[in-house]
Amino acid sequence: MPKPDLILLALDPSPFQQLGKRALQSAGYEVVEAVSRAALEKDLQNLSPALLLIGETLGGENGMELAVLQLERFPTLPIILYVEKDSISIAKAVLQNGLSAYIHPPLRTDDIAQAVKRALQRALHLGDWVRREVNRTTTSLQRRISDFEAIFSNIDDSILILDKHERLLILNEAAQSVLGLNPATVIGKPLREVIQHRELLLLLERAANDNLKYHEINMDDGRVFNARYTVIPHIGSAITLQDITYLKEIDHIKNDFVHTVSHDLRSPLTSVLGYAELIGRVGSLNEQQQDFLNRLQGSVQEITALVNDLLDLGRLEAGFDTRREPVQLENILRYTTDMLGGQATARNIEIVIEQASGLPAVKANPLRLRQMLDNLIGNAIKYTPEGGKVQVRLHSQDEQLILQVQDNGVGIARKDQAHIFEKFYRGENMPNGTAGTGLGLAIVKSIVDSHQGRIWVESETGQGASFFVVLLADVPVAL
């Protein structure tokens, strides 16, 4: 036999208290009485009644206010308010506060039982509707979660989601395969404990310290991945690894082709330049002929410079630049500024050097560092208007050497900044007639990359540009 519903009466002692108790018991309900707020809250917590019948006052407290407080604790509990006198304000308050109903004299025994029965039936129907909605929503969520898991698992890029403490939350199948991780043993652990790949860990360090978002990672099996670090608000971060091995292979083929063509062009260009110089020795030339010859020699020299830059870039990208020795960058900087001082003086450009004392050495190829400085400072002079200023700053921090070359020229548009280190790329706002092959900054970046350094630019159009280079200092390792 089913257990009868429990009705909690929260009423001050009165004739109605006794009438209500007898009426509900006669209708087959179990009745419990509470004569104070403390007893009411205790019985609600411990007994879980099916309905609360509360009076206008209870132990000197406002019954409506107590009912509202209980609804905040138990939103689905049906509550009936008993009042001594009916009024429009009471009806509005009951409706606004979400109570099930209210009753008032004159009352018969059947009136009380019927009011409770109707309130319980509405609560039952509401509960059925809530359960249906919960089931429907749960089914929909489960379906969406299933769809998400299918999409997440089948994405070709490797994806790792970390919490705010860099603990691994989830990873897809591609990440499991690439990094050799088993979700059963690594989920919930700090990424630094489960992954030993140095370049991937370096991405975490640089992302935290330098807001670095992209990093190229080379795997032991020869594959190359473009890693991206993305902050996820209120969760942590995500790392995506995109396989760019095929792009690297295409780039390698392209570079081999350019290198081969450049090498083959070098000899005939040298011959053309040599014969051009001999023309003037076999007989006198009129003014127009001499002008044509000068233009020919200038064009051949430009092409020769382009070929030399391409060959230089090819050697750097092929990894032939292996010479390393301790180098004091400030000495090379001094030599470069002396050599370029004539160009700056001719255009009335001031070169200002701010250099810290006691700088550490870097382990590098001095010829390449000279080439890097020549290009950066030469570019700054080239794009600085006459009477302008080029500032070069050199200091060390955290076992790193930091170089900044700043000009006050035309600046670099934001859309161009992501491409200026690409081969042959030149910004749209470049002054007309500015000489160059579009390879200088590509060579600079290759030199910096080959020394495991970093380079970036900060610029606003019309406000000049600042190039930053960071190189690791040659600090002895303590044994």
Q: Do 460 and 330 belong together in one domain?
A: yes
Spatial distance between the Cα atoms of 377 and 440, rounded to a whole number of angstroms:
11
Pairing of strands 57-58, 79-82: unpaired
- 257: domain CATH number is 1.10.287
Packed helices 37-47 and 63-73: angle between N→C axes, nearest 10 degrees: 30
The candidate with the shortest Cα–Cα distance to 76, out of 28, 139, 29, 122, is: 122
* 255 lies in some domain: yes
Taking only the tens of pLDDT, the chain with its 479 residues reads: 567 889 999 998 888 888 889 889 988 899 999 989 999 999 988 888 989 999 999 988 999 999 999 988 888 889 999 998 988 888 999 888 888 889 988 888 888 889 999 988 888 887 667 667 777 877 888 888 888 888 888 888 888 899 988 899 888 888 888 888 888 888 989 888 888 777 787 777 776 665 555 677 888 888 888 888 888 888 888 888 888 888 777 777 666 666 666 666 667 767 777 777 777 777 777 888 878 877 877 777 767 766 666 666 666 665 656 678 888 988 988 888 888 888 888 889 888 989 888 888 888 888 888 888 988 998 888 888 888 889 999 998 878 888 999 998 888 888 888 788 887 777 666 666 566 667 778 888 888 888 888 888 888 888 888 999 998 887 654 43
Q: Do 334 and 401 belong together in one domain?
A: yes
CB neighbourhood size of 409 (10 A): 23
Q: Do 259 and 339 belong together in one domain?
A: no
Please identify, among 243, 263, 298, the residue that sits at the C-terminal boundary of a domain: 243
* 477 lies in some domain: no
Cβ distance 410 to 429 under 8 Å?
Answer: yes
**Structure tokens of 41?**
């809250």
- 48: domain CATH number is 3.40.50.2300
Backbone Cα Rg of the chain: 41
Question: Could you give the 3-state DSSP secondary structure of residue 83?
Answer: coil
Q: Do 329 and 465 belong together in one domain?
A: yes
Task: Return the pLDDT at 478.
Answer: 42
Q: Which domain holds residue 275?
A: 247-317
Q: Do 359 and 272 belong together in one domain?
A: no
Task: Return the pLDDT at 311.
Answer: 65
Amino acid at position 472, single letter: L
Spatial distance between the Cα atoms of 20 and 116, rounded to a whole number of angstroms:
10
**Structure tokens of 348?**
């009335």
HEC string of 270-290 equals: HHHHHHHHHHCCCCCCCHHHH
Task: Return the pLDDT at 343.
Answer: 86
* 136 lies in some domain: no
* 335 lies in some domain: yes
Q: Do 91 and 21 belong together in one domain?
A: yes
Spatial distance between the Cα atoms of 370 and 361, rounded to a whole number of angstroms:
14
* 142 lies in some domain: no
Question: Could you give the 3-state DSSP secondary structure of residue 454?
Answer: strand
- 224: domain CATH number is 3.30.450.20
**Structure tokens of 69?**
């407080």
Question: Could you give the 3-state DSSP secondary structure of residue 55?
Answer: strand
When divided into structural domains, the chain yields a total of: 4
CB neighbourhood size of 364 (10 A): 26
Task: Return the pLDDT at 66.
Answer: 92
* 75 lies in some domain: yes
Q: Do 187 and 124 belong together in one domain?
A: no
The candidate with the shortest Cα–Cα distance to 163, out of 228, 234, 227, 211, is: 234
Task: Return the pLDDT at 33.
Answer: 92
Spatial distance between the Cα atoms of 214 and 323, rounded to a whole number of angstroms:
28
Q: Do 180 and 282 belong together in one domain?
A: no
Pairing of strands 51-55, 6-10: parallel
Q: Do 80 and 109 belong together in one domain?
A: yes
Question: Could you give the 3-state DSSP secondary structure of residue 74?
Answer: coil
Spatial distance between the Cα atoms of 131 and 127, rounded to a whole number of angstroms:
6
Spatial distance between the Cα atoms of 227 and 213, rounded to a whole number of angstroms:
8
- 345: domain CATH number is 3.30.565.10
Task: Return the pLDDT at 371.
Answer: 85
Q: Do 163 and 208 belong together in one domain?
A: yes
Give residues with Cβ within 8 angstroms of 392, minimum separation 6. Answer: 333, 337, 351, 352, 353, 354, 355, 377, 403, 404, 405, 406
The candidate with the shortest Cα–Cα distance to 9, out of 34, 27, 26, is: 34
The candidate with the shortest Cα–Cα distance to 37, out of 8, 10, 15, is: 10
Instruction: Write down the residue that tokens 């003037």 correspond to.
Output: 280
* 478 lies in some domain: no
Find out whether the peptide bond into 106 is cis, omega within 30 degrees of 0.
yes
Q: Do 251 and 195 belong together in one domain?
A: no
Please identify, among 216, 243, 270, the residue that sits at the C-terminal boundary of a domain: 243
Cβ distance 33 to 14 under 8 Å?
Answer: no
Burial track 174-200 (b if 16+ CB lie within 10 A, e otherwise): bbbebbebeeeebeeeebeebbeeeeb
Please identify, among 317, 340, 367, the residue that sits at the C-terminal boundary of a domain: 317
CB neighbourhood size of 59 (10 A): 16
Q: Do 35 and 101 belong together in one domain?
A: yes
* 479 lies in some domain: no
